Amino acid sequence: ALAEGRLAAADLADEARRRATAAAALNAFISPDPRTPAPVAGPLAGIPFAQKDNFCTQGLRTTCASRMLEGFVPPYESAVGERLRAAGAVSIGKTNLDEFAMGSSNENSHYGVVRNPWDATRVPGGSSGGSAAAVAAGIVPFATGSDTGGSVRQPAAFCGVTGLKPTYGRVSRWGLVAYASSLDCPGVLARSAEDCAYVLGAIAGHDVRDATSADRPAEDYAGALDAPLAGLRIGTARPYFGAGVEDGVAATVRAALAEYERLGARLVEIDLPHAHLAIPAYYVIAPAEASSNLSRYDGVRFGHRCANPRSLEDLYTRSRAEGFGAEVRRRILIGTFALSAGYYDAYYLRAQKVRRLIAGDFDAAFAAVDLIAGPTAPTVAFGLGEKHADPLAMIAADINTVAVNLAGLPAVSIPAGFHAGLPVGLQLIAPAFAEARLLAAAHRFQ
């Protein structure tokens, strides 16, 4: 189902590599993947794909778009990469991203910005911007992404493709370079919910190497795609249509929801009373965990090392100052502050309590509805450089995606239509482990 055209499976990867070269101006890739796997007769046999460059690839450099990891060649493959290759898929390259997956526009990459295939003057979204652009430009039928606070769904929305963030624990994080471990989730960018279902079927499942991996088998997501919409209750979350959402975006999403109604679903207005607290809670918890995770880059064991260190302290500080970009340094400073003695209770602990309330909002809502819908992002893709100088404006645009990660839920962004000639994403959110329901509902619309 993933293979388009009439090319033989063996030719597909070559064709994808050719397209990647032809579309080099997008800057969607950091490294080609020259490894030629032995052919596997699995469910994804011969299907080319791209991997976000924060998934470790054995023998192939993995940069996280950071100067810090410029020369890092992992000795092992991520669980996601391993499973995809075991299913027969062929990795053709590593995609560009915001440094260590921190950002919403792909402008924080040491390897330069990625351009949106729909309009080269605009961002592709982030942090999985290279993966979204590679799928939108028709280079690969699917790509991996990671979603800590929207990094699969928001670039999917900006590039007009489908982006799936599974339930936390559904897909192993082993070999995905850690950003904020309690939020990080491997995900899929593809051209349709159907393709996401095939890929999820290949990557979902228990993995003892990830302590938070869920011990339950993968389901037949592709086999469940034809579940009827009739009677499905879709909650339209009032806060997701609130201030900051462009009129054209809200109208496009409402039109898509009206289509769902025509297809037999029932729309129910719901409230998520703590939705406005998701951004402040996320932007304390994510930097706090990041500051801890990124402490491993000390210039000693691996990663960038400064020249001629004068002392151990100098080695640490100069290696880190040189290796990390401005946004990563900002997050480390914020996170270290939030975790420090005397501030822990006021910031980190409080954010964790808010996180519980946000998860409780979803639990309460899912007593009355089967899915929750809203715009994935408040705007269409913005111009390169437009928000880069204003980190708070960039952060504010994550309003509709971050709560889902705080609650650990699965969600998908699907193309809902266009506003001002640019794609608009509709986000559907499901209860934990209801990926089959989520993908079926997305599929019916496509």
**Binding residues vs ligand GLN (CB under 6 A):** 101-104, 127, 146-151, 179, 286, 398
Cα–Cα distance measured from residue 220 to residue 202, given in angstroms and rounded to the nearest whole number: 10
Which residue is nearest to ligand GLN, using beta carbons? 151
Q: Which is nearer to ligand GLN, 117 or 149 (CB)?
A: 149
Q: Which is nearer to ligand GLN, 309 or 391 (CB)?
A: 391
Long-range CB contacts for residues 336-340, cutoff 8 Å, separation at least 24: 336/291, 338/284, 338/287, 338/288, 339/288, 339/291, 339/292
Cα–Cα distance measured from residue 434 to residue 54, given in angstroms and rounded to the nearest whole number: 26
Any residues with CB less than 8 A from the CB of 255 and at least 6 apart, and which?
416, 417
Q: How far is the CB of 291 from ligand GLN (least distance, A)?
A: 13
Q: Which is nearer to ligand GLN, 103 or 160 (CB)?
A: 103
Cα–Cα distance measured from residue 242 to residue 399, given in angstroms and rounded to the nearest whole number: 10
The angle at the Cα of 407, spanning 337 to 193, to the nearest 5 degrees, equals: 125
- The torsion angle over the Cα atoms of residues 320, 172, 426 and 256, rounded to 10 degrees, is 170
Q: Which is nearer to ligand GLN, 16 or 135 (CB)?
A: 135
Q: Which is nearer to ligand GLN, 127 or 131 (CB)?
A: 127
Q: How far is the CB of 171 from ligand GLN (least distance, A)?
A: 14
3-class DSSP state of 339: helix
Residue 146 a catalytic site member: no
Residue type, 313: E
Q: Name the residue among 109, 406, 83 with its Cα closest to residue 274.
A: 406
Could you give the residue ranges of the DSSP H alpha helices within 72-192?
A: 79-86, 129-136, 153-159
Which is the catalytic residue, given 66, 78, 109, 127? Answer: 127
Any residues with CB less than 8 A from the CB of 315 and at least 6 apart, and which?
298, 299, 300, 305, 306, 309
Q: How far is the CB of 359 from ligand GLN (least distance, A)?
A: 18
Q: Which is nearer to ligand GLN, 153 or 304 (CB)?
A: 153
Any residues with CB less than 8 A from the CB of 112 and at least 6 apart, and which?
27, 96
Q: How far is the CB of 202 from ligand GLN (least distance, A)?
A: 22
Q: How far is the CB of 394 from ligand GLN (least distance, A)?
A: 7
Q: How far is the CB of 124 from ligand GLN (least distance, A)?
A: 13
Tokens of 129: 């911007």
Residue 165 a catalytic site member: no
Q: Which is nearer to ligand GLN, 361 or 398 (CB)?
A: 398
Which is the catalytic residue, given 52, 94, 165, 387? Answer: 52
Residue 387 a catalytic site member: no
3-class DSSP state of 269: strand
Q: Name the residue among 65, 121, 69, 140 with its Cα closest to residue 97.
A: 65
Cα–Cα distance measured from residue 145 to residue 132, given in angstroms and rounded to the nearest whole number: 8
Tokens of 119: 């309009």
Q: How far is the CB of 190 from ligand GLN (least distance, A)?
A: 18
Which is the catalytic residue, given 66, 104, 151, 213? Answer: 151
Helix-helix angle 193-203:435-445, to 10 degrees:
160
Question: Is there a contact between 176 and 132 (Cβ–Cβ < 8 Å)?
Answer: no
Sign of the Cα pseudo-torsion (214, 146, 119, 419, in order): positive
The residues assigned a catalytic role are 52, 127, 151
